[in-house]
Chain A
Amino acid sequence: MTHWIIAPVVLPALLAPFIVLAARYHIGIQRAFSVAGVLALIAIAASLSWQVSDGSVLLYQLSDWAAPFGIVIVGDRLSTLMVLLTSALALFVLLYSIGSGWDDRGRHFHALFQFQLMGIMGAFLTGDLFNLFVFFEVLLIASYGLMIHAGGNTRLRAGVQYVLFNLIGSTLFLFALGSIYAETGTLNMADLAQRASLIGAEETVGIRVAAVLLILVFAIKAALLPLHFWLPSSYAEAPAPVAALFAIMTKVGAYAIIRVYTMIFPPDLEATAGLHDTWLLPAALVSLFIGMVGVLAARKLDRLVAFSVIGSMGMVMVAISLFTPAGTAAALYYIVHSTLAGAALFLISDLVRTGRADLNLTAQAPMAGTALTAGLFFAGAIAMAGLPPLSGFLGKLLVLDAAFETDLVVWIWAVVLGSSLINIVGFARAGSVMFWKAHGFAPPADTPADTPADAPALPRPATLSYVAVGGLLSLLVAHTVFAGQVHRYTTTIAEQLYAPDSYIATVLDTPGKLSTPKEEH
């Protein structure tokens, strides 16, 4: 029996308490173990992805109980892709937090980081809806810890809003789970898929409300309008590497929607017709639009990036809500792009913060390392705005192409392209004022000329920080260059998602402890 499929959950779950137990006063040891753990995760995730790339489904029955009675971990193309993406992102975020020294500005960063990874990995891998709730809790509490890492008044305040809103989401998740269990009597996703289709046309309200409540839970996580309010201030106030790691958290919501609403409540399920297949797309378009308008409206760089994340999630959700294989394939391509681009931009904004007094979009004296930072920002902005040559452009083409057959095609095209323009203007203004205007910057006349000469010179970001950002951007470049291969793969993922029979069969037909009951004493 092979245990690799659970390793992405168990490895960080053991590493974190180990760090707490043995190395909580030694930042060096913590860093070493944390990096080693993430490197191991990447290797494991890569090998898992390779194993399932032929379309097979890896099943792991926890406690040896067969589904639906026990919990199962399921690795298919989609979940392993997300695991791989998470671990790759984690590496660069970790390197950045080490390089910038963020990890040493509060307690337990690495333990919380590993727990956070455990939560995310678990959410991607679990085949059980209640277990998904548990992992949502793990990643919520760990992310809250990371978010308020290093403290500070505004950060704590933003953190309270973050955790409160997400607790509303958790409560809603429990409501939804209760409803689903009341309707179907099961929590395993594959089993749910079977039972949901058994529900007759004479009584559909129960399952309909349950399906809607559940998608709203995921929509909160995915920061879909109008449930996105927790995101702007918390992402803007969070320590930059944490915000960068959070780039994958919104994707957990997107992942869950893809998983649940292709398998359990697929678009062709009669009982839940006319719900999310109707209003998810408009909501996604509004998200995309508001996010990009927020980019133009932002007065600070970190909020600008936070809004661009909302917009980019809107784009992902537009593609998802087409509920077609082509749309899902495009969404998955875009998810990878959006994660890397969002994370890179948060890290870049921290590079800017290192060299400036604040992140206000006003002209200030040129900072140390401007040219390099400006170049990175330019690349990040291109990626986020969806301009060539980076993958955002290709993702946008894929989404537009996939939307061609839908009724709302004009709306989709208009919003996607129009919001791109707003985004371009927003980013161009921000970059111009931060990096170019600095060269013409003269200190205001009323400041005393004899500013203290011993004012500490703002430091230059560490080389490792640049390496981390460069690493993320090179992943984006790779995502662009190998776009054909990646898209072919996401297409096979979408095919697997829209034909879930082998998934369901693997989960439900594999015998567990039940089939070999123990002898009674």
Chain B
Amino acid sequence: MSLFFIVALPFFGALLPGLMNAAGRSACAGVTFTVSLAAFIGLLTNLPSVLAGDVLTARIDWMPSLGLNFTLMLDGLGFFFAFLILGIGLLIIAYARHYLSRDDNMGEFFTYLLLFQGAMVGIVLSDNILLLLVFWELTSLSSFLLIGYWKHLPEGRQGARMALAVTGMGGLAMIAGMLMLGQIAGSYDLSVILENRALIQTDPLYTPALVLILLGCFTKSAQFPFHFWLPHAMAAPTPVSAYLHSATMVKAGIFLMARMWPVLSGTPEWFVIVTTAGLVTMVLGAVIALFKHDLKALLAFSTVSHLGLITMLLGTGTAFGAMAAMFHILNHATFKAALFMSAGIIDHETHTRDIRRLGGLRRLMPVTFVIATLAALSMAGIPFLNGFLSKEMMLEEATHTVLFGTPWLVPALAISGSLFSAAYCFRLIGHTFFGPVRDDYPSNPHDPGPGLWLPPSILVTLVVVIGMAPFLAEPFVKLVTASVLGNAAELPKAYFKIWHGLVPALFMSVAAVVGGLLVMVVFTPLLRLWETTPRPEAKAIFDALVATAVRLARGLILPLHNGAFTRYAAIGAITIVAAGFHAWKTGTVAPPTREVQAAGPVLVAGWLMLVAATGGLVFMHRNRFFSLILIGIVGLMVSIGFIFFSAPDLAMTQFTVEVVTIILLLLALNFLPKRTPMESSVLRRVRDAGVAAIGGLATFTLAYHYLLRDAVGTPISEFHLANSYKGGGGTNVVNVILVDFRGFDTYGEIIVLGIAALLIYALTETLLGGRVRARLLNRKPDQQRAGEMHPMMMVVLTRVIMPLVLMVGFYIFLRGHNEPGGGFIAGLIVSIAVVMQYMASGFAWASARLKYPYHGVIGAGVLIAGLTGIGSWFVGKPFLTSDFTYVRIPPFEKFELATAALFDLGVFLAVVGAVMLSLESFSRLARRAHMPESEHPMDIDPSRDDPPHLETGPAREGA
């Protein structure tokens, strides 16, 4: 079967368990089993070519530019691991079917399990190290989900997070390491990398790359000092522990070390780091395991210890060590998975995993007893079981390993590791199965159905068979070892056999077993000693670390983002000025190219007024109405400035905008207190003043600099001046720029205006729908209201003026193209005419006479402008292209018709609509307040007898 299928099957199969969940637990487990079985058989079909020594590859390009391709490779090593993953996976699936209770969501469980399986197979079959990274992180993620599978258990959640954090960190480190490795080798393909041992080991990046990759391996394979996550991962359901955390995932780190062995090993760095970590882990894990009372915790630490053993073997860098490592991986996978499953059975049947509450199960659960005892004895290194063989090879290797120049160090540590290993195995057997039968088990223990004991017994059979007849495993292990070694070393000649003669390893082995028995004899005092010795609790440290990180993060982030806008603005302003200053300081300045113009008395007066108004604003801004007047002065001076620079259009616009803005602001201020409260401290105001002064100074300097210098080329405005009549048909350049040269900008700006009005409307609408409405309704005017709200004089005056103003607006609109004016100004003028009616006779009266809703006016305006633009498409011209012609309709003079006028109409409508909609929105707020409404245009009308119903507003009724 194609390698792609083997990898892809579990991933695609992961969709099935969730689907089959409703069909029952057996169906769910059945499809999962079938999927795994299919992948397993697929793998086996490749066995002949692997045995023949071929390396199968398959490749699909994914990101060739990055060097990340979907490249798979199957050699002896890959086959070995894939065989373990899929083979043990099948047993686990069968076991889990009977292990999980009815309350557990089996579909979810098997989905995660298959995802994990796929990721794991992906790791061992990857030929591309970046692809390997992808699968690597996927195992972390799926293991996160599996550990946290029992969501209600806090241990599960915490264990899952811890595992993710630790292995995730390692994964990230490994990303860096792998990228370096790829950069050195020039390719991310393993087949290339493995050929470049010399190149890689002499590169200056070798050491950092090695450390980073090993960080990934060590975290994954729970090597000291990252071993602590594994025991906490045992909160997972037992099938997960057996599968991920003993047989497969934790071997991923070891797999990678084996995979990279030809290129990374053999250097002093590799030897010291890997061997030391392995030795320490081996001894430490074994010692801790001895004193654990939870069966799974004991097994977890024993796994840590054995992983250390394998790591140490790989670290020595010899071919024999590598072979021993491969053999032990096989053996460990068999006996440890069997032990985990046995622990699960005991937990399942007695409802406890605490060794102190167990004992005497030998008679009650004979089948489990046999399975667990055989597996544990193998782990202890008792002859005729497979653990003995690889352990002896380890001891043999240890005698040849000299670390830190001390020949006895490695053998001594190896013996003590084996000793404690034997001890905890004996304790496991003794304290669980031997001793008197108790009568206080939490449940009534008996052997489970074959669904639970059959899978481990298959494994134990292997334990015994390999242990009795090691030559059966020899060719296979040698095949695997050969693919580990690659071209880097010769395959060792040693044979697998039980009896090697009276070699040192045998004595060491005997010493370890005897020592283990002795330790058991003095176990009780030892335990007391252990429990009184203070030792660092990894979980507490880890939790404290995360808590500290969170506290630090909060200490950094929360005060920084406390919502104080003045601070945000101050930081922003200082940043801007600082960056600008830096740019200024590092540049060069040439003398000015322009003369400073003389300032006449009028200019100085205007300038002084501007300064006075702005300065006054700073000091008097708390009085809102007064500041509005000052803002008016500023606006006026700006308008005059426009006139001074010969831009009457802009001046007119500015004037009208000022009028409209002031009216709208007055309306808005109506709802606010008359004074702004003092909110910031003196210190903060000093700070803000400083920032403002710096910003102002910087702006001044910059403006002054630019004003005295010419542009590097002719400004485009020269072109506009020269071509406005010729190409745009208008002598008013500003207007032609607005509607023709840069009509698209204007189009955008009227849209901005329209949106702003819609926005004001939407805002008031939501305000009126919320709590604010009640506040408005119950608002008491803080000042005396005018005695006459709609004075007759004003009503009459505005009525009279209205046609005149409309006429002016129309005139301004029409003359726009050639003289100052245009749709924008006309729109503002017409709005003012209408606004006056509102002011004179009140909102209710005016809006009752409204024929066209202002939303529609805005929409129509924007639409007309847009459609005018599109109109030019029909004559094959781009959007907004204007055209004009001169027509003569007697008895009028010849006059110009420009499409730009139509566009200007859109502008006009949008402006009118926007202004009026804003006004209307504010008025709606006002209307709900204590404002009696009148259906009459004015309060006092000589022609009318009935007095206006001043006291009958809805608000009054409620009051």
A positions within 8 Å CB-CB of B: 1, 3, 6, 10, 13-14, 16-22, 24, 60-65, 68-71, 106-108, 111-112, 115, 118, 122, 130-131, 134-135, 137-138, 141-142, 144-145, 148-152, 156, 160-161, 164-165, 168, 172, 175, 178-179, 181-188, 191, 195, 198-199, 201-209, 211-213, 216, 220, 226-227, 229-230, 232-233, 271, 274-275, 279, 290, 293-294, 296-299, 307, 371, 378, 382, 387-389, 393-394, 396-398, 400-401, 404, 413, 417-418, 420-422, 424-425, 428-429, 432, 435-440, 483-484, 487-488, 491, 513-514, 517-518, 520-521
Contact = CB atoms under 8 A, between A and B. Distances in A.
Nearest to A149: B762
A130 B588 contact: no
B47 interface: no
Given A21-B863, A148-B766, A227-B575, 18 more contacts: A16-B751, A20-B858, A21-B856, A62-B744, A69-B741, A137-B749, A148-B762, A184-B712, A199-B712, A202-B590, A209-B702, A233-B561, A290-B557, A389-B134, A417-B172, A428-B164, A429-B161, A437-B154
Interface stretch (B782-790, B843-851, B878-886): B878-886
B745 A130 contact: yes
Contact of B575 (A186, A216, A271): A216
A195 B65 contact: no
Interface string B128-158: 0010011111101100110010011110110
Given A17-B860, A290-B557, A518-B727, A185 B712 contact: yes
B161 A195 contact: no
A456 B701 CA distance: 63
Nearest to A201: B588
Contacts of B877: 1, 64
Contacts of A60: 878-879
B742 A71 contact: yes
B870 interface: yes
Interface string B734-776: 0000001111110111011011101101110111011000000
A150 B134 CA distance: 43
Nearest to B581: A209
A179 B706 contact: yes
A191 B573 CA distance: 30
A139 to B, nearest CB: 10
A209 B769 contact: no
Contacts of A175: 699, 702
Nearest to A420: B172
Identify which of A17, A204, A398 gathers the most chain B CB atoms within 10 Å of its CB.
A17
Contact of A198 (B169, B713, B755, B882): B713
Contacts of A387: 137, 140-141, 168
A206 B704 CA distance: 11
A20 B720 CA distance: 35
A112 B100 CA distance: 53
Contacts of A271: 587
A261 to B, nearest CB: 14
Given A20-B855, A417-B172, A514-B727, A440 B762 contact: no
Given A202-B588, A440-B154, A400 B179 contact: yes
Contact of B762 (A108, A424, A439): A108
B572 A226 contact: yes
Q: In terms of DSSP, what is the predominant structure of the interface of chain A?
A: helix
B715 interface: yes
A122 B879 CA distance: 14
B50 to A, nearest CB: 27
B157 A17 contact: no
B809 interface: no
Interface string B847-873: 000000001101111110011011011
A182 B65 contact: no
Contact of B758 (A108, A198, A401): A108
Identify which of A122, A418, A421 gathers the most chain B CB atoms within 10 Å of its CB.
A421
Given A186-B716, A432-B148, A63 B741 contact: yes
B172 to A, nearest CB: 4
Contacts of A293: 553, 556-557
Nearest to A289: B556
B549 interface: yes
B748 A233 contact: no
17 contacts: A3-B878, A17-B754, A60-B879, A63-B882, A148-B763, A150-B766, A182-B709, A185-B717, A191-B716, A209-B584, A213-B580, A232-B561, A297-B556, A382-B141, A397-B175, A514-B719, A517-B723
A138 B165 contact: no
B66 interface: yes
Interface string B53-66: 00000000111111
A232 to B, nearest CB: 5
B681 to A, nearest CB: 20
A168 B66 contact: no
A64 B881 contact: yes
A345 to B, nearest CB: 17
A484 B706 contact: no
Nearest to A63: B880
A165 B866 contact: no
Given A138-B751, A141-B755, A107 B762 contact: yes
Nearest to B761: A107
B45 interface: no
Given A138-B751, A216-B576, A20 B758 contact: yes
B752 A138 contact: yes
A75 B66 CA distance: 28
B3 to A, nearest CB: 18
Given A107-B765, A149-B762, A435 B711 contact: no
B873 A422 contact: no
B569 A3 contact: no
Top-8 shortest CB links A-B:
A151-B766, A21-B859, A185-B711, A185-B715, A205-B587, A203-B590, A182-B706, A229-B568
A172 B576 contact: yes
A197 to B, nearest CB: 10
A425 B161 contact: yes
A140 B240 CA distance: 52
Identify which of B108, B133, B179 gathers the most chain A CB atoms within 10 Å of its CB.
B179
Interface string B282-326: 000000000000000000000000000000000000000000000
A296 B748 CA distance: 41
A106 B762 CA distance: 7
A211 to B, nearest CB: 7
Nearest to A59: B878
A205 B569 contact: no
A302 B13 CA distance: 34
B741 A151 contact: no
B565 interface: yes
Given A62-B744, A63-B744, A203-B590, A179 B727 contact: no
Contacts of A16: 751, 862
Contacts of A13: 747, 751, 862, 866
Identify which of A13, A274, A388 gathers the most chain B CB atoms within 10 Å of its CB.
A388
Contacts of B588: 201-205
Contact of B748 (A134, A160, A198, A211): A134
Nearest to A150: B766
Contacts of B165: 421, 424-425, 428
Contacts of A152: 766, 770
B629 interface: no
B860 A220 contact: no
A166 B134 CA distance: 40
B60 to A, nearest CB: 10
A8 B155 CA distance: 54
Contacts of B63: 394, 483-484, 487
B670 interface: no
A18 B859 contact: yes
B751 A118 contact: yes
Given A151-B766, A208-B583, A3 B179 contact: no
A179 B130 CA distance: 48
B748 A122 contact: yes
